[in-house]
Amino acid sequence: MASPQCCANPPSLSPAGGEGKVVDSFGGVRAYVAGAQDSKAAVVLIADVFGFEAPKLRKIADKVASSGYFVVVPDLLHGDPYVPEDADRTIQVWLKEHAPIKAFEEAKPVIAALKEQGVSSVGAAGYCWGAKVVAELAKANEIQAAVMSHPSFVTVDDIKEVKCPIAVLGAEIDKTSPPELVKQFEQVLSSNSEIGSFVKIFPGVSHGWAVRYDSDDAAAVKNAEEALTDMTDWFNENLKFETTRHHSTRVVRYPVRPILPFLLSPPPLNLLSRPGPLLSSVGWFPIQPPCQVPITSAASARMASPQCCANPPKLSPAAGEGKVVDSFGGIRAYVAGAQDSKAAVVLISDVYGFEAPNLRNIADKVASSGYFVVVPDFLHGDPFVPGDADRPIQVWIKEHTPEKGFEEAKPVVAALKEQGVTSVGAAGYCWGAKVVAELAKANEIQAAVMSHPSFVTVDDIKGDALHTAEMRPAPYR
């Protein structure tokens, strides 16, 4: 039910707000629209009780539109938002005239209008009151992806009937949908392997934080921005969206989250695992022949520095859930995952080699998403030892050039192809990033990730065939 939190911190409404425009009728409803109308992917944003003129809601719409979506914010309240100052019309009275179920029926023609203009996939996101509308749309199979932020009126029974991938963003301080209820949502969703889901409870925030935050509170702004990023990422992962991922050189930033390192094609893998401490999601990029290799880079570096050798790991030859094989493509390697997978990832270590426990942990995490993972020992049992004064990094590098690692990596990729793998990605850290760059240049792989690269130059990155994106560094030592 509605609680006082549903009505707290009301926005100052502005009919002229936003970078988009208001149209008199979209699917029979007045609406704010933003973004490219010819996009094949659309998002419907459904307001809380304060309606579609809330400036921060329109700002969210503009942000989502900037990612390539056509965004519609319908006025499902018909110019009659809740007014807290109206003592004669309490929230309970107002709700009788504006039931979410009624809005759900009015939302269906909006989605139909999107389909009529050529949209092939639709996501919907709702806040508070609007989350119930989204839940009904998800239950009715009207949309392809759903996000609910600090939902009201949503029940466990609603969640049981959801038919599309859904994300639930809850608040720690929420009397309407308390964490205990959100955790029940999570339990229901996690038991349904056919529906992708993401449930997150934001610590220290109250109901309404995602759309009615205090702009002067830096922490509140940060939490709202994180919620927006989570929402956009969810749509990016679950709507079949290609309009800005082809022929694009824009920088794409994703939050630190786990395993979506690649989507190699063929075959497409539906990877929906969500937050964890080690990995950064870099999204997916379609492969375009003849040699267009998607590549992500955390930063650029041209030579080894003291940072390359800082915080050395404690090596462990027995680490990991996989196993060490004496020869894979002629090289000793740690392997994990299903050997009959059609998609594989080669992880290439930094100067400390393939026995770093956190590196193997990453390999196991990637393998758990369906990939066969190989971590070759390109250092041949000779990792850099920071305490060896007679063999500084400059001396060690002469014996272990990344170019040599690249030549040894090619038989590893060939061995993967021989065992039936049809698409190979490679990820490298520091020293290993240069090896990945060489593999990408040589068209040996179908997708690449470089994390805090060393030795990589602008000339390595050059070329129209390379799409670039930036990801935040993920600690792994």
- 347 compared with 293, residue with greater pLDDT: 347
Task: Tell me how many domains the chain contains.
Answer: 2
Dihedral sign (CA 242, 243, 247, 252): negative
Give the CATH number, domain containing residue 339: 3.40.50.1820
Residues in the chain: 477
**Residue 401 forms part of a structural domain:** yes
* 261 lies in some domain: no
Please check whether residues 224 and 311 belong to one and the same domain. no
The answer to which of 147-161, 265-279, 342-356 has the lowest mean pLDDT is 265-279
Which of 222, 238, 254 marks a domain boundary? 238
* 9 lies in the same domain as 157: yes
Q: Are residues 329 and 466 in the same domain?
A: yes
Shared-domain flag, residues 383 and 450: yes
Residue 80 in any domain: the answer is yes
299 shares its domain with 230? no
Domain match, 128 and 47 both: yes
Regarding whether 90 and 197 lie in a shared domain, the answer is yes
Extract the runs of DSSP E, i.e. beta strands, from 28-186: 29-34, 41-46, 70-74, 121-127, 145-149, 166-173
Based on the fold, state whether residues 62 and 179 are members of the same structural domain. Answer: yes
Structural domain boundaries, residue 30: 4-238
User: Which residue among 193, 221, 238 closes a domain?
Assistant: 238
User: Nearest-CA neighbor of 72 among 123, 11, 116?
Assistant: 123
Q: What is the pLDDT of residues 3-45, one digit of tens each?
A: 555 566 676 777 888 889 999 999 999 999 999 999 999 999 9
Rg (CA), the chain: 25
CA separation for the pair 130, 146 (Å, rounded): 11
| Domain contains 277 | no
Residue 279's Cβ-count burial label (10 Å; 0-12, 13-18, 19+) is buried
User: Does 338 map to a domain?
Assistant: yes
Domain presence at residue 286? no
Per-residue pLDDT tens digits for 224-268 = 999 999 999 999 989 854 433 332 322 222 332 333 333 343 333
pTM given for the model: 0.53
Helix axes 100-116, 129-139, angle to 10 degrees: 60
Say how far apart CA 275 and CA 59 lie, in whole Å.
Answer: 26
Tell me the helix, strand and coil percentages in the chain, rounded to 5.
30, 20, 50
Residues 315 and 199 in one domain: no
111 and 35 together in one domain: yes
**Whether residue 306 has pLDDT greater than 80:** no
pLDDT at 410 over 80: yes
In a domain, 424, yes or no: yes
Rounded distance between C-alpha atoms, residue 378 and residue 408, angstroms: 7
Q: Does residue 451 belong to any structural domain of this protein?
A: yes
- Indicate whether 36 and 141 sit together in one domain: yes
Whether residue 179 is predicted with pLDDT greater than 70 in this model: the reply is yes
Out of 190, 221, 238, pick the residue that ends a domain.
238
